[in-house]
């Protein structure tokens, strides 16, 4: 029996809210640890930026997911009969606009917390309120996006190639990484004042890059096949979205061997970058230095994600064609 919309979202919400709490706790916890287990008013922009990017990531694919649910008639959407989407609602529901407004409001809230509480007591309401706020925005936009599905199809594809789509995914992730590791510039192990070509800094940066890569790869395990199917229904991508894998020799090697090769390349790369900066005398911000050192890991993560999502896209195409054949058999519906 096809579940009605209200019953389905109650089941979905039981999974979403704990997941949001877990992700927010992890990212804020990493920032808190990197910041020496303390907060102050100067951290407001970093904290609001971290939570804002988490919000953006949670709603960016929401319309495509509901397009898949609506077209395949997986849920009874009679709840939305006669409901229309307003022009202002459509404009305000864009993920980028929502995230910017959310960052501004959350930043103001954090500033108020610091006015009345110490850093520890400011952390507690931040950890409790942020996931609930993300969930509230998620619920509002869910209704808005479902009403948009019927009129969301476009004549021009939004993403012509998978590498553009991956870039749009990696960019917020890289910004999130920079915000999270930014407090480490005040730590002695990561100080650039004693010179960039020091064994202490090289080893610390190598370990940091490995940890950040591990966290990035952990969050890429979620399947995208239903998202790609929804984007196919919305005509935001076409069947030339991902034709083949780049650099086939990379995927011929076992995963453990690829990781070992990456670690060797990463360590040598950090030494070369540090040596070049020490020789040139060029002064860089800590975040820029980390980003340059992290480039091999970004390249590895890109190829890793490409393989996962290329497979998911092929599965989505297969589901799309199967759905077309099923839909022609009108006696089934």
pTM higher than 0.85: yes
Tell me the C-alpha distance between 123 and 121, whole Å.
5
Give residue 330's pLDDT.
55
Q: pLDDT means per 10 residues in the chain (333 residues)? A: 78 85 90 85 87 92 87 80 73 87 89 72 79 89 81 71 92 93 85 74 91 88 87 89 86 90 95 88 86 95 93 92 70 48
Which residues, 6+ apart, have CB-to-CB distance to 263 below 8 Å? 210
Q: How far apart are the first and last CA of the chain?
A: 13
- State residue 142's pLDDT score: 85
What are residue 207's phi and psi, to 5 degrees?
-65, -40
Residue 37 is predicted with a pLDDT of: 82
Q: What is the pLDDT of residue 170?
A: 93
Q: How far apart are CA 77 and CA 142, in angstroms?
A: 13
Question: Residue 22: exposed, middle, or buried by beta-carbon count in 10 A (0-12, 13-18, 19+)?
Answer: exposed
Q: What is the pLDDT of residue 333?
A: 46
Residue 2 has what DSSP assignment? Answer: P
SS3 (DSSP) at 4: strand
CA-CA distance, 294 to 278, in Å (whole number)? 18
CA distance 232 to 320: 8
Give the span between the Cα atoms of 307 and 245, in whole angstroms. Answer: 7
């Amino acid at each position: 029996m096809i579940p009605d919309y209200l019953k389905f979202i109650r089941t979905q919400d039981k999974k979403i809210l704990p997941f949001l709490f877990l992700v927010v706790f992890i990212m804020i916890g990493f920032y808190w640890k990197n910041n020496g287990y303390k907060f102050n008013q100067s951290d407001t922009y970093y904290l609001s930026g971290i939570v804002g990017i988490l919000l953006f990531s949670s709603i960016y694919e929401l319309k495509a997911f509901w397009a898949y649910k609506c077209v395949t008639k997986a849920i009874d959407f009679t709840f939305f009969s006669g409901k229309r989407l307003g022009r202002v609602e459509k404009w305000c529901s864009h993920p980028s606009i929502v995230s910017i407004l959310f960052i501004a409001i959350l930043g103001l809230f954090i500033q108020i917390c610091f006015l009345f509480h110490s850093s520890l007591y400011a952390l507690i309401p931040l950890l409790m309120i942020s996931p609930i706020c993300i969930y509230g925005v998620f619920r509002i936009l869910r209704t808005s996006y479902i009403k948009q599905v019927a009129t969301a199809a476009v004549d021009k594809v939004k993403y012509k190639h998978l590498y553009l789509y991956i870039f749009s995914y990696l960019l917020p992730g890289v910004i999130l990484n920079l915000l999270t590791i930014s407090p480490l510039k005040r730590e002695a192990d990561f100080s650039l004042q004693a010179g960039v070509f020091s064994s202490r800094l090289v080893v610390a940066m190598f370990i940091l890059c490995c940890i950040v890569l591990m966290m990035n790869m952990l969050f890429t395990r979620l399947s995208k096949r239903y998202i790609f199917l929804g984007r196919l229904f919305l005509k935001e991508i076409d069947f030339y979205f991902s034709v083949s894998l780049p650099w086939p020799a990379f995927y011929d090697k076992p995963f453990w061997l690829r990781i070992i090769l990456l670690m060797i390349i990463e360590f040598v790369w950090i030494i070369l970058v540090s040596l070049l900066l020490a020789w040139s005398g060029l002064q860089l911000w800590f975040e820029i230095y980390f980003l340059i050192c992290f480039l091999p890991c970004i390249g590895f993560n890109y190829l890793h994600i490409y393989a996962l999502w290329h497979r998911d896209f092929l599965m989505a195409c297969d589901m799309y064609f199967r759905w077309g054949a099923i839909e022609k058999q009108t006696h089934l519906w």
